């Protein structure tokens, strides 16, 4: 059977893990790459430079906002599966560039679906949706496929359009089109402007003597964090189902930003003691008294999503999907990768040296 995947956003965190996953399954993989003035393929360079994989991996320079190019690429590649992962995906930045976010994250989904429809509509389509659709209302937790949507950012609103236009094309044109409502998923490949990676990078820089402290916004915000490598398998499983449907992928756990910070420092054998509340909260090394963490009001968002906790029971029952990496394992993986990159030692080596 011919298995050909077309991935938008292939150079991102999820795109790189998905490309690996599909190549290992024998797929021919085509990726859409936006032209940048600087190199932006770092996450997939190991695949592009692999003699084993590069014969089945093809890059195409285009943009999801360009409908004519999407139409041409779908017609030429004739993919059996399309994974639309491309977006302006940072919630905070979406408040600064709302119009661009609406176009790149929302309207571009319509353009890709239309390209698929015009070219015969025979492929299976995965739309990257998000837990930001729910707005983090505590009374609705844990959030499932049946939870009402209430997005609180331009990013969430754009993703809401993407969600419903995917459903609309499924019902109107009988496309095999599905939404994966993914809760926060992280990895060592996470962008440096996302809070989890910001935390592990800052701690690595503190250890290396390159940074004095870690500054954060709302440390009481709760998120359901999983490992991106687990979630791309869920994306693939969604498209292998007998009928098109929408699924929540999550860990069924929630943790505060503060808990992530504490766990990251604990990987280095450092206990953090917090004092104060709100913008006056500070975290100190319990042994030395050194200031390690503070709160900067500038990092608060205009409309904060306080509480996200996903219920993945439908995906577990119907797809056989379940996360493999737990919260501690995820934080350890990310902390270890950044410490090795910045300070040249693993977490275990650092702890052994600083007993």
The DSSP code sequence of 72-112 is: HHHHHH--SEEEE--S---HHHHTTSHHHHIIIIIIHHHHH
Contact 70, 110 (CB under 8 A): no
- Point out the catalytic residue in the list 130, 166, 196, 251: 130
Pairing of strands 4-8, 81-84: parallel
Which is catalytic among the residues 83, 155, 163, 231? 155
Q: How do beta strands 28-33 and 124-130 pair? A: unpaired
Distance CA 18, CA 241 (A): 17
Alpha helices in the chain (DSSP H): 13-24, 45-48, 67-77, 91-94, 98-101, 108-118, 154-173, 195-207, 228-240, 257-266, 313-319, 327-343, 347-353
Q: Taking Cα atoms as reference points, which of 159, 137, 158, 187 lies closest to residue 15?
A: 187
Residues with Cβ within 8 Å of 177's Cβ and at least 6 positions away in sequence, in order, are: 113, 124, 125, 127, 166, 167, 169, 170, 244
Catalytic status, residue 83: no
CA–CA separation, 27 and 322 (whole Å): 23
Token pair, residue 56, equals: 């089945």
Distance CA 68, CA 299 (A): 39
Angle between the N-to-C axes of helices 154-173 and 108-118, in degrees from 0 to 180, rounded to the nearest 10? 20
* Closest alpha carbon to 336 in 236, 266, 249: 266
- Is 132 in the active site? yes
What is d(CA 46, CA 138) in angstroms, rounded to the nearest whole number? 41
Q: Is 8 helix (H, G, I), strand (E, B) or coil?
A: strand
Residue 109 is a catalytic residue: no
Q: What are the structure tokens assigned to 92, written together?
A: 């905070």
* Catalytic residue selected from 20, 28, 81, 132: 132
> Which residues have a catalytic role annotated?
130, 132, 155
């Amino acid at each position: 059977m011919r298995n050909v995947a077309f991935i938008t956003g292939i150079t991102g965190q999820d795109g790189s893990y998905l490309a690996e996953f599909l190549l290992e399954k024998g797929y021919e993989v085509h990726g859409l790459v936006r032209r940048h003035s600087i190199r932006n393929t770092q996450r997939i360079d190991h695949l592009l430079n692999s003699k084993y994989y590069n014969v089945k991996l093809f890059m195409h320079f285009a943009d999801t906002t360009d409908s004519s190019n999407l139409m041409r690429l779908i017609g030429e590649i004739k993919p059996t599966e399309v994974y639309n992962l491309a977006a302006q995906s940072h919630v905070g930045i979406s408040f600064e560039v709302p119009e661009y976010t609406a176009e790149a994250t929302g309207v571009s989904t319509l353009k890709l679906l239309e390209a698929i429809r015009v070219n015969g509509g025979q492929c299976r389509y995965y739309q990257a949706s998000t837990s930001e659709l729910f707005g983090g209302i505590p009374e609705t937790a844990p959030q499932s496929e049946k939870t009402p949507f209430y997005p609180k950012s331009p990013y969430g609103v754009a993703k809401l359009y993407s969600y419903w236009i995917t459903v609309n094309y499924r019902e109107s044109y009988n496309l095999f089109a599905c939404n994966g409502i993914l809760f926060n998923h992280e990895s060592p490949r996470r962008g440096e402007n996302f809070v989890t990676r910001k935390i592990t990078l800052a701690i690595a820089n503190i250890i290396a003597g390159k940074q004095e402290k870690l500054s954060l916004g709302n440390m009481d915000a709760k998120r359901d964090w999983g490992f991106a490598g687990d979630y791309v398998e869920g994306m693939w499983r969604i498209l292998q189902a007998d009928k098109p449907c929408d699924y929540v992928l999550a860990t069924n756990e929630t943790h505060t930003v503060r808990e992530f910070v504490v766990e990251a420092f604990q990987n280095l054998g450092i206990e953090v003691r917090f004092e104060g509340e709100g913008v006056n909260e500070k975290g100190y090394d319990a042994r030395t008294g050194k200031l390690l963490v503070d709160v900067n009001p500038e990092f608060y968002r205009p409309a904060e999503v306080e509480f996200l906790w996903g219920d993945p029971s439908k995906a577990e029952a119907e797809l056989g999907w379940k996360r493999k990496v737990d919260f501690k394992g995820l934080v350890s993986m990310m902390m270890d990768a950044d410490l090795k990159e910045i300070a040249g030692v693993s977490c275990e080596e650092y702890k052994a040296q600083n007993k």
